[in-house]
């Protein structure tokens, strides 16, 4: 009973957060000094007072602030997210087209990061203070310390230019066409359409950006796993298992592993969130056609409808992600409430 109560509270709180985010986005666009009407119409059309009046009236810009806010909320709920000034198309379409790209990249990056971090953390703990441990530690810390976008550039230079292993940009090579749209994620769609060649190409394209995106989280997760494992290895039940005469491998895999995984999992929400912060830069560097690049583009084109919508979506993904993670954490350890 209490568990359900917690979930409801948490979801309700999340709705509050999303609401706050929506309001924040609204206020920010109100704070921008440029005139949105001028940006839409351009200098020539601005000279036509009728046009100006029409646009201002349609966008309700001549109404008091609170009315604009309500109009804004109404639009969001009904799905009228405006038309992009840059692409001249409905923002919703642009976002729907790009959302899977960002999602695919983030999920893949996170999966790779965890797949590397957790084993490396465990190995670091088991072989503590050996050269392996030190090497892992150096790599982790370097991963955390340098900015993601720099790593991206370095990787591009080494793996694309010098070694020619990975392609430099985009989601697919120029001689490939996207697989039929099911989820929008090329890795999945290509398998579903039984086009393994597209799958390989998409895989080659996603590896470098995903790895770059995941580095920071990978480093942190590795350290966390290591300390968690060290903690667990000190425990009495491990000593018991050893005294029973079990081979070391069994001790670690059967007894220690399960218990040490709790710590990194609890941090996954935070790790995913902090990783998402870098997605904008990664998308720009690798020319990944996702929402991050859309946001940056919108900023420089002063494309306010697109900007607001994209930021909103990113914020919603972000907070929903942490919601899911919090709930997951609560499932694993009901004693804890995250806030």
Partner 1 sequence: MREWHLTWLMIRKSKIAMIAAGILGSVIIIALLAPWIVPYDPTAITPGREFLPPDNSHLLGTDNLGRDVLSRTLMGLRASVFASMFVVALSSMVGIPVGGVSGYLGGKIDTLLMRITDIVMGFPGITLALLLAYAMGRGIFSAALALGVVGWTSSARIIRSVVLSEKQRDYVMAAKVLGKNNFQILFGEVLPNCLYPIIVDVMLRMGTTIVALAGLSFVGVGVQPPQPDLGVAVSEGRQFIFEDPLLSIIPGVLILIIVLSYNLLGDRLRDALDPNLRRELVGGSVE
Write out the residues near partner 1 by the rule CB under 8 A.
Answer: 13-14, 16-18, 20-21, 24-25, 28-29, 31-33, 141-142, 144-150, 153-154, 156-157, 161, 273, 276-278, 280-281, 284-285, 295-296, 299-300, 307, 311, 314-315, 318-319, 322, 339
Closest separation in Å from C-beta 175 to partner 1: 23
**d(C-alpha 46, C-alpha 83), whole Å:** 19
**Distances from the Cα of 309 to the Cα of 81, 297, 301, 315, 316, angstroms:** 7, 13, 14, 10, 11
The answer to whether the beta carbons of residues 311 and 295 sit under 8 Å apart is yes
Closest separation in Å from C-beta 203 to partner 1: 24
Burial degree of 296 (CB within 10 A; 0-12, 13-18, 19+): middle
Q: Which is nearer to partner 1, 33 or 79 (CB)?
A: 33
Q: Which is nearer to partner 1, 71 or 270 (CB)?
A: 270
Q: Which is nearer to partner 1, 157 or 237 (CB)?
A: 157
The answer to whether the beta carbons of residues 287 and 156 sit under 8 Å apart is no
**d(C-alpha 1, C-alpha 263), whole Å:** 26
The answer to whether the beta carbons of residues 290 and 102 sit under 8 Å apart is yes
Q: Which is nearer to partner 1, 31 or 177 (CB)?
A: 31
Closest separation in Å from C-beta 98 to partner 1: 15
Closest separation in Å from C-beta 82 to partner 1: 16
Closest separation in Å from C-beta 73 to partner 1: 17
What is the Cα gyration radius of the chain? 24
Closest CA to 220 of 314, 121, 147, 302: 121
Q: Which is nearer to partner 1, 106 or 120 (CB)?
A: 106
Closest separation in Å from C-beta 59 to partner 1: 18
- Looking at 91-235, list the stretches that DSSP marks H as alpha helix, in order from N- to C-terminal side: 91-126, 131-145, 148-155, 186-192, 196-233
Closest separation in Å from C-beta 110 to partner 1: 15
Q: Token digits for 7? A: 């979930």
Q: Which is nearer to partner 1, 66 or 161 (CB)?
A: 161
Q: Which is nearer to partner 1, 19 or 237 (CB)?
A: 19
């Amino acid at each position: 009973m209490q568990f359900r109560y917690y979930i409801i509270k948490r979801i309700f709180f999340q709705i509050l957060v999303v609401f706050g985010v929506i309001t924040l986005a609204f206020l920010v666009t109100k704070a921008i000094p440029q005139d949105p009407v001028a940006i839409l119409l351009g200098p020539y059309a601005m000279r036509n007072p009728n046009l100006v009046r029409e646009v201002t009236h349609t966008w309700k810009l001549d109404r008091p602030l609170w009315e604009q806010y309500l109009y804004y909320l109404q639009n969001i709920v009904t799905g009228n997210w405006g038309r992009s000034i840059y692409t001249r198309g409905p923002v919703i379409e642009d976002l729907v087209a790009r959302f899977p790209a960002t999602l695919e990249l983030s999920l893949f990056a996170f999966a790779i990061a965890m797949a590397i971090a957790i084993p490396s953390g465990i190995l670091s703990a088991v072989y503590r203070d050996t050269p392996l441990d030190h090497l892992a530690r150096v790599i982790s810390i370097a991963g955390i310390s340098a900015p993601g976008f720099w790593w991206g550039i370095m990787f591009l230079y080494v793996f694309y230019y010098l070694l020619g292993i990975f392609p430099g940009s985009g989601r697919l090579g120029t001689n490939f066409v996207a697989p039929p749209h099911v989820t929008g994620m090329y890795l999945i769609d290509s398998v579903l359409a039984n086009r393994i060649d597209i799958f390989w190409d998409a895989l080659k394209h996603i590896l470098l950006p995903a790895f770059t995106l995941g580095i920071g989280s990978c480093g942190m997760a590795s350290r966390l796993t290591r300390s968690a494992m060290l903690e667990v290895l000190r425990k009495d039940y491990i000593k018991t298992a050893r005294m029973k005469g079990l081979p070391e491998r069994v001790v670690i895999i059967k007894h220690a592993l399960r218990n040490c995984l709790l710590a990194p999992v609890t941090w996954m929400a935070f790790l995913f969130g902090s990783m998402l912060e870098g997605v904008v830069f990664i998308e720009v560097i690798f020319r990944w056609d996702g929402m991050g690049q859309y946001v940056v583009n919108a900023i420089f084109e002063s494309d306010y409808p697109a900007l607001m919508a994209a930021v909103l979506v990113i914020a919603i993904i972000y907070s929903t992600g942490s919601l899911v993670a919090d709930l997951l954490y609560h499932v694993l350890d009901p004693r804890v409430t995250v806030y």
